[in-house]
Amino acid sequence: MRSMSFPNSIILNNGVKMPILGLGTYKMEPELTKRSVLDALSLGYRHIDTASFYRNEAEVGEAIRDSSINRDDIFITTKVWNDEQGYEETKSAFQRSLELLKIDYVDLYLIHWPMPSRLETWRALESIYEEGMVRAIGVSNFMPLHLEEILEHGSIIPSVNQVEMHPFLQRNEVLDQCKESHIAIEASSPLARGKRLNDPYIKEVATKNDLTPAQVMIAWCLQRNVAAIPKTTSKVHMKENFDSLYISLSQEDIAILDKLDQNYRTTTWNPYDMK
C-alpha cells in the first residue's frame, strides 16, 4: 500500500487521507451497483462505501477493476455485520470481504453496529490493522457510551465513527466527543434517505443559493468537517452531489439549518438501545 494523496480529504488520526465525499451503496441492488460505482468514479468520486450486509461487495470490486483507475487511488470502506461479530468470526468475515471485493487490502474497516461482542470485535480489527491488511479501522452507529468502552479497553483509537447525520439529526453529542478524541465523523444517510428534501427551510436555502436541496444537506455536513456518503444510482444526482464539494453556505444559511434538529432517525434501530 502506497501513501495516497486525495484532494478534499479528511486526515485521519493515523495520518491516512480519506476523501470527504463518497458514494454510499446501502441497499443498492447488485445489478445496479457496478454501473453506479463506475459512474461515480468517472465523475471524480474516489471513496466507495459498502458492507457485507449490503450484499454488493463483489460488484463494487468488479467496478473498481473495470475502471481505468489504479486501485491505490480509490478509498474503499466495508463493514463487519452484526451476526459476524466476535474475534475469530470478525477475522473470517474480513477475509470474506477481501475475497468478494478481490482486493489485497481495505482502506477502512468498520464495526457496523455496537453489538454486545463489540470489544472482541474491536480486538479483531486491531489485529487486522496491525497485520497491515487495512489502512484504518473504525466504528459505525456508536454513541458516546459505546465509544467510551472502546477508548477505555482498546489499544487503538478508532479513526472514524460513521453515524446517521443530517440537519434533522445533528448528533452534536457524538460530534463533540469525536472531536475531543480525534475521531473523524462520517455521515451516513446525509440526505435523510430523501425523506426531508422538501422541507421548506431546506428549499429556502436551496432556492436562495441556486442549489438543489440535496446539495444544501451535503454542504451542511462538509462545512462541519464531516465526511458524507450520499447514495444514489442516478448519474445526474451523483454529479449534483459531487458539486457540493465546491459550495460554501453562508453563516446565515448554516444558522437556519442548525435550527432543524429534531432527533429524526430514518431507521427504526436506535443505537442508544444497543447495550
Residue 47, pLDDT score: 98
pTM listed for this prediction: 0.95
pLDDT digits (tens, 9 = 90+) for 49-96: 999 999 999 999 999 999 989 999 999 999 999 999 999 999 999 999
| Separation CA 145–CA 261 (nearest Å) | 21
Give the side-chain half-sphere CA count within 13 A for 62.
Answer: 12
Residue 7, pLDDT score: 61
pLDDT digits (tens, 9 = 90+) for 211-264: 999 999 999 999 999 999 999 999 999 999 999 999 999 999 999 999 999 999
Strand order in the sheet with 227-228: 23-24, 47-49, 75-80, 106-111, 134-140, 160-164, 184-188, 227-228
DSSP assignment letter at 114: -
pLDDT digits (tens, 9 = 90+) for 165-195: 999 999 999 999 999 999 999 999 999 999 9
Q: Which of 54, 109, 129, 201 is catalytic?
A: 54
Residue 4, pLDDT score: 53
Fold classification of 9-194+225-233 is TIM Barrel (3.20.20)
Domain regions of the chain by residue span: 9-194+225-233
The band of 269, judged by pLDDT with boundaries at 50, 70 and 90, is confident
| Separation CA 98–CA 78 (nearest Å) | 9
Give the percent of the chain with pLDDT over 70.
97
pLDDT at 2 over 60: no
| Separation CA 249–CA 206 (nearest Å) | 10
Say whether 87 is catalytic: no
| Sign of the alpha-carbon torsion through 262, 266, 269, 274 | negative
